[in-house]
């Protein structure tokens, strides 16, 4: 992990000002962008995911108490909780993500120490790049360092997911936490959410991944996400399967007409998107540009018409991305409903691509987007 002296100074100064002594432990965990596989994780399908260089840092120092006291530099606020309390407070707060991790680790019988900490993230919050998982996985890594035990990264990911599901109350799949804990520098991961196996996928040289942030905020805990999950479960149940992953395209084609129309659309998207994950992994490795363009276009088309997770800013961004020089393919990212999107771009054209998308999107929407390339970063660990 390359040190970033300016960021380190910023955090160290804030820490000293607030807590009167320097931090003793530094941990980080990355955000992620899904390259293919929208909403496939909770259907136990496959996802092609990229841990990104944008990450969350926590600088910490044990405080010899049962309190965890944190300051978020992103929000400019302090928050605290007691390790003796396992219930979620009545008023939701950002520190619930960390409190939930503490509860999940304690349920595993792991001893935890209280600490003072400063949090700083370069993952944009609530934009679909998973700042929540980055916060959870960085926090779990602090507890691990201070508690003098280690757990396997896959278990860490599952416990962080449990924190978000049960404590925070967001019914997310395993994708975000798995990517943040299991990331490897330099390659994407093809994750199988049924057995939590993964393999590294190299992206052919000359192809860059570029984030295009619509700057329209989305709420993952919102009703739409939960509704999609219920529709998928309903579809799987009506097809006699435990989850949509178990339904083959041929079996689905044969019985699609038995399903209520909206459930059928959701199921078709997931079943097709799962297959596209493997196809895109191959196309990215071999560098087959036409296949990348075709697969990403089909994914976005399904997101619009079948899964219906596209918001108007996403349509404007898609038009801007597809019209820009050097584009190979583009699609939605995260849960949809706004936030970030992702493009594959010829590496030599990144600057021209970014300038053209910026101009096109700002003219169309009146909102200034943020556009930047990302590369694959290592998973959660000490800095
Ligand atoms: P995403 O994970 O896509 O960024 P979520 O809605 O799942 O969006 O999580 C965002 C929430 O996570 C924020 O509203 C905040 O509560 C919490 N969070 C993440 N990173 C930080 C941070 N650095 N400081 C404070 N809160 C954070
Ligand atoms: Mg999240």
| CA atoms in the 13 A half-sphere facing the CB of 260 | 10
What is the distance in A from the centroid of ligand 2 to the CA of 226? Answer: 14
Give the mutation target among 135, 337, 338 for probing the ligand 1 site: most ligand atoms within 8 A of CB: 135
Ligand 1, atom 15, lies closest to the CA of: 94
Percent of the chain with pLDDT over 90: 96
pLDDT attached to residue 223? 84
The DSSP H or E segment spanning 99 is helix 96-107
Interval between CA 109 and ligand 1 midpoint (Å): 27
> Closest Cα to atom 23, ligand 1: which residue?
121
Mean pLDDT, residues 37-61 taken together: 98
Q: Which ligand is located closest to the Cα atom of residue 126? A: 1
Mean of pLDDT values over 149-169: 97
Who lines ligand 1 at CB under 6 A? Answer: 56, 72, 74-75, 94, 97, 119, 121, 125-132, 135, 220, 334
Q: Which CATH number fits domain 5-199+378-382: 1.10.10.10, 3.30.230.10, 3.40.50.300, 3.60.21.10?
A: 3.30.230.10
Consecutive H or E run containing 12? helix 5-19
Which of 219-223, 257-261, 277-281, 327-331 shows the lowest mean pLDDT across its residues? Answer: 219-223
Under the banding of pLDDT at 50, 70 and 90, the label for residue 218 is confident
Active-site annotation holds for 78: no
Ligand nearest to the CA of 73: 1
In this structure, the residue with its CA closest to atom 16 of ligand 1 is 94
Nearest by Cα to 180 from 332, 45, 50, 333:
50
Q: What is the DSSP string of 135-181?
A: HHHHHHHHHHHHHT----HHHHHHHHHHIIIIII-----SHHHHHHH
For ligand 1, atom 24, the nearest C-alpha belongs to: 72
pLDDT (mean) for 194-205: 98
**Are 381 and 57 spatial neighbours (Cβ–Cβ below 8 Å)?**
no
Residue carrying structure tokens 């136990």 = 44
pLDDT tens per residue, range 293-317: 999 999 999 999 999 999 999 999 9
Cα separation, 141 vs 126, in Å, equals 22
The catalytic position among 176, 253, 301, 351 is: 176
pLDDT band at 221 (very low <50, low <70, confident <90, very high): very low
Structure confidence by residue, pLDDT tens digits, 54-76? 999 999 999 999 999 999 999 99
Q: Which long-range contacts (CB under 8 A, 24 or more apart) does 74-81 make?
A: 74/119, 74/120, 74/121, 74/125, 78/18
CA of 138 to the centre of ligand 2 (A): 14
Compute the distance from residue 21 Cα to the ligand 2 centre, in Å.
32
Residues paired with 211 in a beta bridge? 342, 372
Q: Which residue has its alpha carbon closest to ligand 1 atom 9?
A: 132
> At the top level of CATH, which class does the domain 204-374 belong to?
alpha beta
Report pLDDT for 272.
98
Which helix (H) or strand (E) segment holds residue 124: the answer is none
CA dist 105 and 108 (Å) reads 5
Which ligand has the nearest atom to the CA of 117? 1
Q: What is the mean pLDDT of residues 16-29?
A: 98
- pLDDT for 1 beyond 70: no
The model's pLDDT over 103-126, given as tens digits with 9 standing for 90+, comes to 999 999 999 999 999 999 999 999
pLDDT attached to residue 102: 98
pTM of the model: 0.97
* Nearest-angstrom CA–CA distance, 117 and 235: 45
Average pLDDT over the chain, rounded to an integer? 96
Q: What integer is the mean pLDDT of 275-286? A: 98
Q: Are strands 25-36 and 197-201 parallel, antiparallel or unpaired?
A: unpaired
| pLDDT tens-digit readout, 333-375 | 999 999 999 999 999 999 999 999 999 999 999 999 999 999 9
Domain ranges of the chain: 5-199+378-382, 204-374
Among 132, 134, 216, name the best residue to mutate to test ligand 1's pocket (greatest count of ligand atoms within 8 A of Cβ): 132
What whole-number distance in Å separates Cα of residue 337 and Cα of residue 352? 27
Give the mutation target among 29, 73, 96, 131 for probing the ligand 1 site: most ligand atoms within 8 A of CB. Answer: 131
- Whether residue 220 is predicted with pLDDT greater than 80 in this model: the reply is no
Closest atom of ligand 1 relative to the 220 alpha carbon: 6
Ligand of minimum distance to the alpha carbon of 337: 1
pLDDT of 219 over the 60 cut: no
Give 258 Cα–ligand 2 centroid separation in angstroms. Answer: 34
Average pLDDT over residues 175-189: 97
Which one-letter DSSP state was computed for residue 200? E
CB distance 338 to 314 below 8 Å:
yes
Residue nearest to atom 10 of ligand 1 (CA): 126
């Amino acid at each position: 992990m390359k040190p970033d002296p300016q960021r380190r100074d910023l955090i160290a100064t804030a820490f000293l000002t607030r807590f009167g002594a320097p931090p003793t432990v530094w941990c980080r965990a990355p955000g992620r962008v899904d390259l293919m596989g929208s909403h496939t994780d909770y259907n136990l399908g496959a996802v092609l995911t990229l841990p990104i260089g944008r990450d969350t840092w926590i600088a910490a120092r044990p405080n010899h108490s049962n309190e965890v006291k944190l300051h978020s530099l992103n929000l400019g606020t302090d928050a605290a909780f007691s390790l003796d309390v396992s219930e979620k407070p009545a008023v939701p707060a950002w520190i619930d993500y960390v409190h939930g991790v503490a509860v999940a680790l304690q349920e595993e019988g792991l001893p935890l120490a209280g600490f003072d900490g400063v949090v700083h993230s370069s993952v944009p919050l609530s934009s679909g790049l998973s700042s929540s998982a980055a916060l959870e996985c960085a926090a779990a890594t602090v507890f691990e360092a201070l508690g003098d035990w280690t757990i396997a990264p896959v278990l860490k990911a599952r416990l962080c997911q449990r924190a978000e599901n049960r404590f925070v109350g967001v019914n997310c799949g395993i994708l975000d936490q798995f990517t943040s804990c299991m990331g490897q520098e330099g390659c994407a991961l093809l994750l199988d959410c049924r057995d939590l196996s993964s393999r590294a996928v190299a992206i052919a040289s000359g192809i860059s991944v570029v984030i295009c942030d619509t700057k329209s905020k989305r709420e993952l805990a919102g009703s739409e996400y939960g509704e999609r999950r219920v529709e998928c479960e309903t579809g799987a149940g009506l097809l006699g399967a435990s989850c949509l992953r178990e339904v083959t395209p041929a079996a689905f084609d044969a019985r699609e007409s038995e399903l209520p129309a909206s459930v059928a659309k959701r199921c078709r998207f997931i079943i097709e998107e799962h297959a596209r994950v493997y196809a895109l992994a191959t196309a990215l490795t071999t560098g087959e540009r036409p296949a990348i363009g075709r697969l990403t276009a089909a994914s976005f088309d399904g997101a619009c018409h079948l899964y219906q997770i596209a918001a108007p800013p996403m349509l404007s961004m898609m038009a801007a991305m597809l019209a820009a020089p050097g584009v190979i393919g583009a699609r939605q990212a995260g849960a949809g409903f706004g936030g970030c999107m992702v493009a594959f771009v010829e590496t030599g054209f990144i600057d021209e691509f970014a300038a053209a998308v910026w101009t096109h999107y700002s003219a169309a929407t009146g909102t200034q987007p943020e556009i930047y390339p990302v590369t694959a970063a290592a998973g959660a660990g000490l800095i």
